[in-house]
Structure 1
Amino acid sequence: MAKKILALFLLFGTPFLAPWKGEENHSNSLKKNVIFMVMDGTNADVITLARHYKGAPLALDSILTGGVKTYSSQSAITDSAAAASAMATGHKTLKDYIGMVPYQAADGKNRGRPVANIMEAAKAKGLATGIVATSPVQHATPAAFSSHTMSRHNMHEIGKQQAHQNIDILLGGGKRYSSVNEGRDVQIVRTKSELDKAKGKSLHGYFAEEEMAYDMDRKKLKPEQPSLADMTKKALGMLSSHPKGFFLFIEGSKVDYAGHKNDPVGMISEALAFDAAVEEALAFAKKHPNTLLIAVADHGNSGLTMGNKQTDQTYAETPAEMFVNPLKKASLTVTGAVSLLKKDRSNLEEVLHLYGLDGLEQRKIRKIRESRDIEKELVSLMAERAHLGFTTRGHSGEDVFLYSFGPKKPAGLINNTDLPTKVAAHLELDSLSELTNKLFIPAKDYYEKRGYETENNIKRDSDAVFVAKKGKTVIEYPANENKRKVNGREETLPGIVVFNGDTFWIPK
């Protein structure tokens, strides 16, 4: 008998033996967290240039693990809405669609139907959730992790959905699009000072009517606003106390804004601000071993290159200083500098100095003064001085870097639709497709099969209400909220009501 036991031990190893009580699946008993970070519109040369500008390694460098394909279902070059929807839901989709995939509706038009995202899956499991961004929090990328609409431009609608998604932490710009869920008691802050003092488990902060300032400009022009690193640290501190763990989405939004302007100073400002936020997130992940950190760009922008036609013959003899020294002369981004320009343009040379463009010839200054688009003139001159090239003022289609740290971290060259699968595996979330079937049921079909008469009461899409009537029972579902009324009595739903202009989708 002893020989048989010994033989089994040698064959199967120690796992054959039962673990001690209290030790079984000890690692699984620890709460699990995910920090999902996106630097919007950031290609490889932006990262390289930022590293040269800093003169030291980036926090991102230590967690580089692969690359990500970014194309959408209709184009080799994606927009932010389709890219973010892919990362949030696992579905490729169309331009402007937020958390939706296309289908042909009963009216014959192509419309979007909502699909569940990983933040909703985390919330369904009882985890805390948070969103941090330097754009309006209703902007395309954060919106795809928290709402469902056929157009990224429906920002008031997105804000209303976010208010009813029971998001614990919501920090960024977009005050003008924000909404309030009357049934929730949420602490609201407006400044860095108020953010620093805030305590508790639920916090919404709106630090600008639209987007927040570029980090370089913030220090001089908007010191009352927190940095992305400030917001990241606060969100992590508050979410870390949740007993079941959390899912936190963070976007460094404005590399993309600067890319659309071809402003290399703005791009560096925001790439370094994002890296500082990564440093905060990485420090947290190292202290909390069950935390998965993912950082990635959603797409490239501008086609920025270190090197242009000026360096056709000299690229082999062009040190890093040739690229970064002109940028370091700027104390404000082009947006920040031009915001200080007087209407009569009498202080133009002061503005040029703030953007690092001293010593220009008078003919160039006259040209700038007469220009209809001063920002465009300034960034063109800066690119020339810094030997930088730009191929577009739009997005670009290259693969982007993947950065990750922690258990079950993604690695290698993957698709953006693979990312939510990695998150779900780490957090042990339910299937997103199963959650979609629970959260988004066609209301008309559901109620008419049960003998109700139905109608869509539409003033405008954001105020639309689905109504089902049977006998003396009247049930109303207002769009973009997590509530319904049964004969006037309000009830809370496990998800939000989505209306795509034709069909209402309601949670089960």
Structure 2
Amino acid sequence: MKYSKKWCSLLLASAIALSSISIAQPQVQAAQVKKPTNVIMLVMDGSSNNAVTLSRWYKGENLAMDEILSGAVRTYSAESAITDSAPAATALATGHKSNAKFIGVLPAVINSPGLAQIAKEDAYRPVANVLEGAKQQGKATGLIATSEIQHATPAGFSTHVKHRSQYDDIAEQQVYQNIDVVLGGGFDSLAPGTAINARQDGENLVDVLKEENYDIVKTRDELLNSKKSKIWGGFAPSALAYDLDRAATRASEPTLAEMTRKAIDTLKKNENGFFLFIEGSKVDWAAHANDTIGIISDILSFDSAVKEAVDFAKEDGNTMVIAVTDHGNSGITMGNANTTSTYSTTPVSAFIAPLKKAKMTIEGALSQLNEDKSNIVEVAALYGLDDLSKDELATLKSAKDMGKVMVKMLANRANIGYTTGGHTGEDVFLYSFGPSKITGLVENTDLAHAMANFMGFDLNKLTDDLYIPATKAFTEKGYASKIDLTDKENPTFIAQKNDVTVTIPVNKNILIYEKDKTAKTYTFDTINVYNGTDFYVSKKVLKVLK
């Protein structure tokens, strides 16, 4: 892809920022690193430095993340000091700032200080991500999340759409990306049906996975017993349970650490190495709900996954591990209005003891509530709210949103403060380990370039190779083309030249070449993307043309 001069200035700004990264190698000297190289990228969505501190106190000992703390990350998007998960994932995966809801495409609006504008025609253009780069290097690839695998952050590392809600397109692109190991929720989005996220385009992607010889597993035991090199784990119709709730509500689901360990054991068999993305997704959801227990639950679950990654990296010697949150959320603090005048004498127990009483997150506790609310006292106790006062009980009974009331009650008892139910804009901790360990204060976009450099490719050149505007490219080759939107769920690019017709279906990795009424299907290790304006195809697709 050839960029405009304005766009080049934005790339230059990113390159300058990247050049400021301080690379240190305390564990393994760079000269000692032998190929293949591996990268494990972990994101605890919507966490914050304060939430990590609270989780450490709750655990009562150091976290695995503490050992590899190396710097901090700026998280702002192209348009706001406070980012949405979609542009945050796009930045981490592609090295480009973008807009709210955008997945793997360039922004349409840039107003954050320090960022240059881009040409109008560059808006929404797909940009390559580090998983795609790893795949082009012949590496094995993996994608893990505790949310739907089609959710914004895993989507940012695997797909290209204008809006994060396009689950049909995201799921289809993920399947046709031919990722070796995919583990998480969101199984409803793979097939037509009546569920809220069931496919609308009529395609059954489960059948496609079977044709591609994936081992489709739906339980922890099936996952751990799988011997296949290609595994698709669909452990829930939508999201997985919070870690604290799992034993009581969905014992058949694997933990994040178990998924991480299985993925590493599977991917490491590739002689060219691997790239693995892992998300602890529901820290963010708990933070949105101001659910202190939910936040702690899944930060500690995430930390166990980090331990698995670092343990492997220590043994392997040529694996880069990065762990980070994509943005802050909730403004959580240890200390609230209760401690305004007593903060200096308030012991740790005043924060932690009330939280230790909880046996479930707010989601888990409310799942046990009878329809008539007859067990409201027992449910409150599951969330750590024992010995309810008359006023507290009356408030719960009259509450229109009982969960909202309960999280406020527990936060008050534990002296925990919240400023918002939304995201926040602070810099966040960076955790990094390996022969190209990243240190200092860096941009979120820098992490994508650091991973790509470690694996031996350039993301901007990769975009030039993988995402070429199809209309212009086919016109230059003498074809007349159109985008067929007759079936709005399945747009198709059609090009004709003399007796040749080329058909390119959206989101897939194929091209159909028809001449003299004889059709041949070509399959690629790249995907075709439609951004609502144009199709984008790879150089490999264009090489088929005569």
* Max Rg structure: 1
Alpha carbons 2:99, 2:108 under 8 Å: kept: no
Alpha carbons 2:78, 2:107 under 8 Å: kept: no
1:249-328, aligned counterparts within 5 Å?
A: 249-328=277-356
Name the structure 2 match of 1:343.
371
* CA offsets 1:422-464 (integer angstroms, 9 cap, x no match): 11222112x1111111111111111122221211111455410
Residues 369/197 of structure 1: CA separation in 2 closer, same or farther (3 Å cut): same
Q: Does 1:66 align with 2:97?
A: no
Distance in 1, Cα, partners of 2:255 & 2:528: 34
Distance in 2, Cα, partners of 1:281 & 1:460: 44
Aligned counterpart in structure 2 of residue 480 of structure 1, from 496, 504, 507: 507
Unaligned runs of 5+ in 2: 1-29, 110-119, 191-204, 540-546
Deviation at 1:362, TM superposition (A): 2.4
Aligned counterpart in structure 2 of residue 411 of structure 1, from 424, 429, 439: 439
Query: Does the residue aligned with 2:429 lie in a helix, a strand or coil?
Result: strand
Q: Does 1:171 align with 2:199?
A: no
Amino acid of the structure 2 residue aligned with 1:83: A
Aligned counterpart in structure 1 of residue 133 of structure 2, from 108, 121, 132: 121
Amino acid of the structure 2 residue aligned with 1:335: E
Deviation at 1:124, TM superposition (A): 0.3
* CA offsets 1:225-252 (integer angstroms, 9 cap, x no match): 0000010010011111110100000001
1:22-421, aligned counterparts within 5 Å?
A: 27=32, 29-102=34-107, 111-178=123-190, 179-180=205-206, 181=208, 183-421=211-449
Amino acid of the structure 1 residue aligned with 2:83: T
Alpha carbons 1:115, 1:440 under 8 Å: kept: yes
Q: Does 1:470 align with 2:482?
A: no
* CA offsets 1:244-282 (integer angstroms, 9 cap, x no match): 100000001111000000000000000000001111111
Q: Does 1:490 align with 2:517?
A: no
Q: Does 1:447 align with 2:474?
A: yes
Deviates more, 1:109-118 or 1:352-361: 109-118
Name the structure 1 match of 2:531.
500
Distance in 1, Cα, partners of 2:86 & 2:40: 20
The count of corresponding residues between Structure 1 and Structure 2 is 480
Deviation at 1:110, TM superposition (A): 8.6
Query: Does the residue aligned with 2:97 lie in a helix, a strand or coil?
Result: coil
Deviation at 1:102, TM superposition (A): 2.9
Alpha carbons 1:409, 1:422 under 8 Å: kept: no
* CA offsets 1:4-42 (integer angstroms, 9 cap, x no match): xxxxxxxxxxxxxxxxxxxxx984543111110001011
* CA offsets 1:167-197 (integer angstroms, 9 cap, x no match): 0010001101133436511111000010110
* CA offsets 1:58-101 (integer angstroms, 9 cap, x no match): 00001000000000000000010001100100000111110000
Alpha carbons 2:86, 2:100 under 8 Å: kept: yes
Deviation at 1:111, TM superposition (A): 4.6
Alpha carbons 2:82, 2:424 under 8 Å: kept: yes
Alpha carbons 1:111, 1:500 under 8 Å: kept: no
Alpha carbons 2:482, 2:494 under 8 Å: kept: yes
Query: Does the residue aligned with 2:241 lie in a helix, a strand or coil?
Result: coil
Alpha carbons 1:407, 1:426 under 8 Å: kept: no
Distance in 2, Cα, partners of 1:121 & 1:375: 43
Name the structure 2 match of 1:16.
none
Residues 28/361 of structure 1: CA separation in 2 closer, same or farther (3 Å cut): closer
Distance in 1, Cα, partners of 2:361 & 2:422: 19
Q: Which runs of 4+ in 1 moved over 6 A?
A: none
Distance in 1, Cα, partners of 2:184 & 2:463: 28
Give percent identity, aligned residues only. Answer: 46
